[in-house]
Amino acid sequence: MMLKEASISASNGNLHCVEHRGNSNGEGRKKRLALFASGRGSNGEALYKAMQDGIINGEFVIIITDHGDAGIVERSKGWNIPIVVIERSDFQSKADFELAQLQALAPYDVDGIVLAGYMRIVGAPLIEAYEHKILNIHPALLPSFPGLHGHQQAIDAGVKITGCTVHFVDAGMDTGPIIMQNTVPVFADDTEDTLSERLLPVEHATYREALALFCNDALCIDGRIVSYKE
């Protein structure tokens, strides 16, 4: 079951619709996106394939990872997309690390940042530079079970349904406005691994749909409510 917020209150002065250069409704040039990844890169690969298939009106123009041995490095071979490794241990301060990220992005003129298994809290400089333009996917139904090990948190809590959440990134940990959610059942004999395996294809499908809306300029934000333009 897909959980959506589909209403728009056009009269509310706080309504903000996320738009980029080019025409709305998917017309005009593809949206230029940066992919941030720390791990195996399965969500990043699923999104890349959806772009190649024309499902998402966007393209990754740069990949940034904080681990030189991350799986995304191997997965993206042959994509012809520049990969920049920016490891926290190479910088004396968090501020220098975040400045390096901004400097790496600058030449690529990106419309948005897609976090796919990126295991660091995004710093204020990136959030301020790309407000309402950073997307993340989390393996739980936020606001429940934020942070690490969302699958295990769900099992330990005894919930019968869990899922994934695509959201805009703000200064908190998994606290940004929710774009889209989808669900899977939790079985009595589930482990973190079995639940993760069941949820992964649902994550791929949910992120594809949410990013397609973002690239079609179809998302509006009113406070914490994200709605979809027709």
Q: Which residues participate in catalysis according to the annotation?
A: 138
C-alpha dist (Å) from residue 39 to 1, 20, 65, 133, 139: 28, 29, 9, 22, 14
Alpha carbons 113 and 129: distance in angstroms, whole number: 11
38 torsion bin: left (phi>0), alpha (psi -120 to 50), beta (else): alpha
What are the b/e assignments for 71-100, b being 16+ CB within 10 Å?
bbbebbeebeeebeebeeeeeeeeeebbeb
Sign, Cα dihedral of 57, 207, 39, 33: positive
